[in-house]
Amino acid sequence: MKSKLLLALLTVTLAGTAAAQVKVEDAIKFRQSGYGFMAWNMGRIKSNVEGTYNKDEVIKAANAIQAIANSGMGALYVPGSDKGTGWEATRAKPAIFTDKEKVGKVAMAFNKEANEMAKIAATGDAAAVKEQLGKLGGTCKGCHDDYKAKK
């Protein structure tokens, strides 16, 4: 029991240290990669609810979104990453770094809907997945409207 606790504490400590040492350019790249990967998986779900529905593909996509949503991407908004280039210039608006309370609420809403999407996808109910996709997409849009600059 003590060794498990020690291992857990060590893991948390090292994870926090690793996040603190991420270079600005890498933090931006990692954010862009995570959001791009989620967008691809949202598209996979959308193509299934608009075309031939494949439960297994929807489950894979929903689980991928859920994993990224719950991965702690907020740690990638390191000081100085409001400007700079990852794969491309960041489009994060300055407010995402200062509106901590509202950003937290937006992030929690997204996590909630991502978790719900994974749960609903597992049922195989295409109509429910389509409805949940709208809710999940709404949380994305809510963040983009306030915190992502347009190209």
pLDDT in tens, the chain (151 residues): 444 443 344 344 444 444 558 999 999 999 999 999 999 999 999 999 999 999 999 999 999 999 999 999 999 999 999 999 999 999 999 999 999 999 999 999 999 999 999 999 999 999 999 999 999 999 998 899 888 999 8
Residue 8's pLDDT is 41
- Please tell me the number of Cα atoms within 13 Å of 132 on its side-chain side: 25
Residue 62 lies in a domain: yes
Distance CA 85, CA 131 (A): 36
Residue 12's pLDDT is 44
Residue 21's pLDDT is 83
Residue 83 lies in a domain: yes
Residue 120 lies in a domain: yes
Residue 89 lies in a domain: yes
Cβ atoms < 10 Å from Cβ of 136: 26
Radius of gyration of the chain (CA): 17
Residue 107's pLDDT is 94
pTM of this prediction? 0.83
Residue 14 lies in a domain: no
Residue 18 lies in a domain: no
Number of domains within the chain = 1
Residue 87 lies in a domain: yes
- Here the tokens at position 19 are 């996040």
Residue 7's pLDDT is 39
What is the domain-level CATH number for residue 91? 1.20.120.10
Domain residue limits at 120:
23-147
Residue 8 lies in a domain: no
Q: Do the beta carbons of residue 142 and residue 106 sit within 8 Å? A: yes
